[in-house]
Amino acid sequence: MQILKSPNSCLFSPRESLASSQTLNLFKYLINRFTSEFDPMELLGRGAFGRVYKAKHKMLNNVYYAVKVVRCEEKSLREMGTLSELLHPNIVRYYTFWVEDSGYRNPELADGALSFFSRTSSNSSAKYFYIQMELCDTKTLKHWIVEKNKESLQDSKRREEGHSITEQIVSAVEYIHSKRHVHRDLKPENILFGLDGKAKIGDFGLVTQDDDGDDNALMERSRERGTHSYMAPEQREKKYDRKVDIFALGLIYFEILWKLSTGHERAEVTELISSLTDLRTYKCDVRISFF
């Protein structure tokens, strides 16, 4: 029997050598699952906490995903926990997640040494979540609104498409609330378009639990961030509930259908929606009465 000599002078038979190379591959896979399983193709975007890559699955033909790489923190755990519970055509689909010791970075993908990776590199114990999600278009509802604002407001296509997009978002928010979650950061930038053309709510980084069963109870919450311009007045306080999402939806609906050019127009709309606090519901009659 031929005996192989390993670099560290242990002796391996061919069978042992095969077993050890398989173990090594498994080890490499566990350490670098992202690059073992996927070919990272493109940096799709970066947020305050992470980066999102377009990645091709190595073993599947023409199957692409969005993989978000974020530091392991409570916020990202909350995001994954919620996403894993949700399955809806208008919510960015989550597949799975895993943890690695380092955050992927590739200068060839315009992925410079900026942001959270370099900031955290001094912390050798930092771990990273890799969240495998449905790949969407990089153009969000924000882009859609900016494009439509360049066109005439009389454009009937804006209304037609706008109503369809609104219905899809409302359906997703209803579903999120039915699962007793509050998104808390609804805004056009967080509404993506799937490759199937459907509107999809993403970025569940601020998601929280709604109250347990009592629709009228207001939960005591840590006063958390969100996006100021879409935030319901009560969200700046400690007690609020899912209606904060309906408030943001109301503003988004206005922006989808109308060009809010000035701060004054925006303030008027915000005031109108605030005055409807008690009516904030998904019901069509309220949505129609906005106009």
Ligand X SMILES: Nc1ncnc2c1ncn2[C@@H]1O[C@H](COP(=O)(O)OP(=O)(O)OP(=O)(O)O)[C@@H](O)[C@H]1O
Residues involved in catalysis: 185
* Residue matched to tokens 């319901």: 232
Identify the CA nearest to 146 among candidates 158, 160, 164.
158
Identify the CA nearest to 242 among candidates 204, 281, 284.
281
The nearest distance, CB 246 to ligand X, in angstroms, is: 21
* CB closer to ligand X out of 193 and 253: 193
The nearest distance, CB 128 to ligand X, in angstroms, is: 13
The nearest distance, CB 209 to ligand X, in angstroms, is: 19
Q: Residue with CB nearest ligand X?
A: 47
- Residue 187 annotated in ligand binding: no
* CB closer to ligand X out of 34 and 257: 34
Contacts by 138-142, CB closer than 8 A, 24 or more apart: 138/44, 138/45, 139/193, 140/188, 140/189, 140/190, 140/191, 140/192, 140/193, 141/165, 141/188, 141/189, 141/191, 141/192, 141/193, 141/199, 141/252, 141/256, 142/187, 142/188, 142/189, 142/191
* CB closer to ligand X out of 33 and 142: 142
- Kindly list the residues in this chain that would bind ligand X in the complex (CB under 6 A): 44-50, 52, 66, 68, 92, 133-136, 138, 190, 192, 202-203, 205
Identify the CA nearest to 145 among candidates 170, 160, 162, 164.
162
Degrees to nearest 5, angle at CA 174 with 170 and 176: 115
* CB closer to ligand X out of 45 and 233: 45
The nearest distance, CB 49 to ligand X, in angstroms, is: 5
Specify binding-site residues for ATP: 68
- Provide the annotated binding site: 68
